[in-house]
């Protein structure tokens, strides 16, 4: 079935000769960065090889959560939620954000113990997260066919519409003076005296003093072409949405075997939070040792699969000249197929737990590629080996909620302003300086 179609964003026909910052990638991270730079009066060009939010940024669950975050991410996501709450007014566009609360349910004492342990991090940051019991859950989730033993609830978390949010930010950036260039792949960078001096697009060259790679699952390929080793694993997540459902819960919920969140159209976005697919590619074997801790942690939920993607990646050029077409021009939108059995399980589990969904039809199903790092937190960093070149990638399934905060931090780093949060946890060098960062156990 068809993937979501993001809201349209008018593209500029004219390529600017020079800007302060070029953003490579028009997903939620790139669009947020472009907006916050343009808001400060910085000249910026947002370059997207396809359409804004054409890949994972329009295909994710739409959750904007603080709950359960890695402690290293918490300061950034707290700032991001502050931005989400006022973003529509700030940019003059609609993102679909609603503060609905998020609830994680527990099916075992061990899972509930992990939820309770995470609350210590919530308390340190004055979050409103709290443990809830069966009666609280029954009130939050009317119509449930069973009583749940417990969970954790964060009432000031929220949801937004992935098909709306990044396009809204990109249009907001354009209103503030940014050039938005769709169907415009960036092939690579140029340097002068050891520092980045321009990017080269399929339409021509843009001189700049800084460039930000926010390319999601494509970031590895871009980095490899310029001699940078970026450890990256891509995970295929399958999702579907339903027709409108009356009298179903408002609170976005994760439960064993299914997740749901209400949409503005009255339907629900549904996924199976217990299972996703890691489609093996040649580069995965190069970085397998670095990902061993993450794969061990997620051994029950991530299934390794050798299939079509391996062949596609094997045939993709490792290097290309800047005056020749790049791989980004041969695939404008990465559109993986959803995995039917994963979605079938999610639908069956949801309907068993909430009978109100039994009459809902499945309107669309799709999949997207989540780009992950070995410690499952993003890289938001200038590269010491390439001054002026910044990487903002590896958001590991957290990028939508983190988007506005990450965009604000990127704007700080590229302009030399005081960063909104400590950027040290997101430095690229953590993979090469012996830190050996590990993923957080989480919820």
Domain assignments of the chain as residue spans, ordered by start: 21-431
**Model pLDDT, residue 96:** 98
Quick one: the chain helix, strand, coil %, rounded to 5? 35, 25, 45
Neighbours of 436 (CB within 10 A): 11
d(CA 239, CA 228): 33
DSSP conformation letters of 331-381: -SS--PPP-HHHHHHHHHHHHHH-GGGGGPPEEEEEEEEEEE-TTSS-EEE
* Residue 276 contacts residue 302 (beta carbons within 8 Å): yes
What is the mean pLDDT of the segment spanning 342-363?
A: 96
Beta strands in 79-178 (DSSP E): 102-106, 130-132, 150-154, 158-159
Range in 14-28, 98-112, 189-203 with the lowest mean pLDDT = 98-112
d(CA 188, CA 172): 26
**Model pLDDT, residue 198:** 98
**Model pLDDT, residue 289:** 80
Tokens 């339903």 found at = 242
* Residue 390 contacts residue 413 (beta carbons within 8 Å): yes
* Residue 27 contacts residue 57 (beta carbons within 8 Å): yes
**Model pLDDT, residue 57:** 98
What is the mean pLDDT of the segment spanning 114-142?
A: 93
pTM of the model: 0.96
Query: Does 21-431 carry CATH code 3.50.50.60?
Result: yes
d(CA 117, CA 134): 19
**Model pLDDT, residue 287:** 79
Name the phi and psi angles at 74, rounded to 5.
Answer: -55, -45
**What sign does the CA torsion over 103, 269, 276, 32 have?**
negative
The two tokens of residue 352 are 């068993």
**Model pLDDT, residue 337:** 94
Q: How many residues does the chain have?
A: 443
Q: How far apart are the first and last CA of the chain?
A: 31
What is the mean pLDDT of the segment spanning 367-392?
A: 96
Name the residue among 376, 391, 390 with its Cα closest to residue 302: 376
d(CA 27, CA 379): 15
**Model pLDDT, residue 441:** 74
What is the mean pLDDT of the segment spanning 386-406?
A: 97
The two tokens of residue 443 are 């919820």
d(CA 377, CA 393): 9
d(CA 169, CA 163): 11
Q: Residue 443 above 70 pLDDT?
A: no
For the stretch 261-275, pLDDT in tens is: 999 999 999 999 888
Name the residue among 175, 182, 165, 205 with its Cα closest to residue 401: 165
d(CA 98, CA 72): 25
- More confident call, 278 vs 357: 357
Average pLDDT along the chain:
94
d(CA 196, CA 20): 11
Neighbours of 415 (CB within 10 A): 15
What is the mean pLDDT of the segment spanning 57-84?
A: 97
* Residue 68 contacts residue 259 (beta carbons within 8 Å): no
Which region, left, alpha or beta, applies to residue 3 given φ > 0 means left and ψ of -120 to 50 means alpha?
beta
- 144-177 burial string, b = 16+ CB within 10 Å, else e? beeebebbbbbbbbbbbbbbbbbbbbbbbbbebe
What is the mean pLDDT of the segment spanning 371-395?
A: 96
Q: Residues with Cβ < 8 Å from 332, sequence gap 6 or more?
A: 49, 50, 51, 54, 183
Which pLDDT band, with edges at 50, 70 and 90, does 299 fall under? low
The two tokens of residue 249 are 């819960």
d(CA 166, CA 404): 10
d(CA 376, CA 419): 21
For the stretch 326-350, pLDDT in tens is: 999 999 999 999 999 999 999 999 9
**Model pLDDT, residue 1:** 59
């Amino acid at each position: 079935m068809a993937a979501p179609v993001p809201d349209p964003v008018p593209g500029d026909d004219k390529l600017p000769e020079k800007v302060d910052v070029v953003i490579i990638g028009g997903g939620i991270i790139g669009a947020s960065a472009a907006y916050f730079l343009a808001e400060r009066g910085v000249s910026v060009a947002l370059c997207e090889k396809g359409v804004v939010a054409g890949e994972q940024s329009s295909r994710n669950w739409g959750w904007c959560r603080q709950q359960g975050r890695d402690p290293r991410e918490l300061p950034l996501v707290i700032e991001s939620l502050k931005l989400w709450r006022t973003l529509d007014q700030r940019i003059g566009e609609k993102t679909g954000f609603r503060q609905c609360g998020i609830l994680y349910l527990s099916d075992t004492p061990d899972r509930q113990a992990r939820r309770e342990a995470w609350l210590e991090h919530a308390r340190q940051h004055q979050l409103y997260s709290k443990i809830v019991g069966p009666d609280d859950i029954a009130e939050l989730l009317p119509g449930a066919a069973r009583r749940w033993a417990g969970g954790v609830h964060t009432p000031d978390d929220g949801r937004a519409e992935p098909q709306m949010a990044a396009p809204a930010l990109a249009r907001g950036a354009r209103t503030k003076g940014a050039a938005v260039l769709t169907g415009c792949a960036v092939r690579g960078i140029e340097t002068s005296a050891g520092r980045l001096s321009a990017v080269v697009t399929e339409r021509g060259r843009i001189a700049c003093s800084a460039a930000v790679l926010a390319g999601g699952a494509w970031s590895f390929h871009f980095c490899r072409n310029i001699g940078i080793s970026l450890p990256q694993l891509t995970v295929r997540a399958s999702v579907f949405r339903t027709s409108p459902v009356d009298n179903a819960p408002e609170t976005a919920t994760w439960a064993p075997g299914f997740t749901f969140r209400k949409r503005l159209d009255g339907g629900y976005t549904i996924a199976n939070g217990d299972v996703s697919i890691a489609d093996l590619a040649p580069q995965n074997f190069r970085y397998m040792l670095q990902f061993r801790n993450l794969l061990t942690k997620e051994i029950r939920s991530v299934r390794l699969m050798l299939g079509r993607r391996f062949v596609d990646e094997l045939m993709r050029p490792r290097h290309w000249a800047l005056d020749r077409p790049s791989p980004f021009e041969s695939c404008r939108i990465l559109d993986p197929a959803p995995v039917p059995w994963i979605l079938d399980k999610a639908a069956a589990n949801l309907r068993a737990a909430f009978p109100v969904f039994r009459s809902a039809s499945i309107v669309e199903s799709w999949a997207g590629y989540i780009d992950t790092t070995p410690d499952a937190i993003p890289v938001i960093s200038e590269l010491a080996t390439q001054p002026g070149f910044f990487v903002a990638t590896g958001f590991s399934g957290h990028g939508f909620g983190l988007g506005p905060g990450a965009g604000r931090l990127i704007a700080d780093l590229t302009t030399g302003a005081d960063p909104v949060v400590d950027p040290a946890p997101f430095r690229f060098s953590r993979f090469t300086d012996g830190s050996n960062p590990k993923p957080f156990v989480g919820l």
